[in-house]
Structure 1
Amino acid sequence: MSKISLEGKTRLPGKIQDSIQDAAVVCSQIVKGSKSSEVLGTAIKNFTLQDGAIENSGSNVRRLSVLISHMKIQIESIEKR
């Protein structure tokens, strides 16, 4: 596995966690600042919509990993010829 793809895989969970923590900070600031349940409800709805994007990103990373493995096998096969 290349250094770049390994580095991307190791940084992705950290970036996701940072995004979740940032969203939590935003939510707590909304509650403290406006006390508006409508605004908080909208923020929560938007935050939960991100779950699908996160799942899709994880799925794409797994697919890319499989493709990289297949390409490595093909390269090795070509180099042996």
Structure 2
Amino acid sequence: GCPLAFYMFFFAAHILKYMLKDPQLSILGFILSDNIKINNQIFVDNIALYLKDNPQNLTRTMNILNRYCKVLEVKVN
């Protein structure tokens, strides 16, 4: 495989991370101890999303994922 593949995925995954953490988009995740907020976790080639259970939050998250997939030509499975 291409030696750059990991780095390309790394940068693409971090673009999504910053989109999900954008305060203007208000994606609500969980609040852990010490008031630490989390809505995503990235490990190697996996991305997990942790979201508050409400329809608006899901709609905003799906809009971000759709935009991300369209621009980077990737698919969510």
Common topology (TM > 0.5): no
TM-score after normalising by structure 1: 0.36
User: 1 or 2, which has the higher strand percentage?
Assistant: 2
Whose relative contact order is higher, 1 or 2, with alpha carbons under 8 Å and at least 6 apart? 1
Q: Which has the larger radius of gyration?
A: 1
